[in-house]
Amino acid sequence: MVTPGVLLKASLDASKEFFRPPAEEGTSAAPYVRPVMVPIRSIGPSHGERIATHLLALNEHDRYLRFGYAANDEQIRRYVDGLNFERDEIFGIYNRKLQLIAMAHLALSIDPELKSCAEFGVSVLAQARGRGYGSRLFDRAVMHARNDGVDMMFIHALSENTAMLNIARKAGATIERDGSESEAYLKLPPADLDSRMTEMVEEQVAQTDYRLKVQAKQFWEILAIVQEVRRGVRDSRDRMPR
């Protein structure tokens, strides 16, 4: 459960991010430090273009693992356009440049006889792997599914997608392999006060984190413009005859 102490620390860490200048991911200027809490935000249709950008950034093999086939750009666009944000839940992790670096889709069943079932899918950009984001997104989706009355989560994955199947296996899922494809089934416990409060707090932290990142991005963009103007004035002054 997210305690008040964890919430306070996450808020302080997010505030510190505002004052640190942006750097390219994967460089020595921005070493990765595993945070206590990864802000995972529930995202809606206004982020459709960011979702598309994220999925289009996946290479052919990553698309093959995510969708079960090497989806082309047009097929990905159709997938994004077909997302039902009212029925399903989309979760995302953003970096300081507001790039969607990891996302999960929790699709609720449309079969009236399987209304308490949901399917989970996840994708993480290459430069953001090795940080446990897939596992974090899975835990977030499980918590939301429990709170939404879902009692069975399915994961349909290619058998070679060991990363996804390992996440499901660690959660206690039953995995059935059928040649090149595998199905994972995870029985979910019912919601309780802990799960409901934890989801509420985590969503609030994620929303606050996102707002701070938006403000920080605007701040550094304005500062860059001011610095560029100053350089222009200085260069003009240096070129003036003395």
Q: Which CATH code of 3.40.50.10860, 3.40.50.2000, 2.130.10.10, 3.40.630.30 fits the domain covering 38-236?
A: 3.40.630.30
Residue 22: which pLDDT band, with cuts at 50, 70 and 90? low
- CA dist 17 and 12 (Å) reads 9
pLDDT mean over 124-140: 95
Overall pTM surpassing 0.85 (yes/no): no
pLDDT for 27 equals 46
- pLDDT band, residue 235 (cuts 50/70/90): low
Instruction: Please report, as a single letter, which amino acid is at residue 78.
Output: R
Q: Which one-letter DSSP state was computed for residue 137?
A: H
Closest CA to 167 of 106, 120, 125, 118: 120
Give the model's pLDDT for residue 65: 94
Mean pLDDT for the chain? 83
Looking at residue 5, its pLDDT comes to 53
pLDDT digits (tens, 9 = 90+) for 67-107: 999 999 999 999 999 999 999 999 999 998 899 999 999 99
Is 29 a residue whose pLDDT tops 90?
no
Q: Helix, strand, coil proportions of the chain in percent (round to 5)?
A: 50, 20, 30
- 177: tokens are 């392999």
Bridge partners of 123, per DSSP, are 103
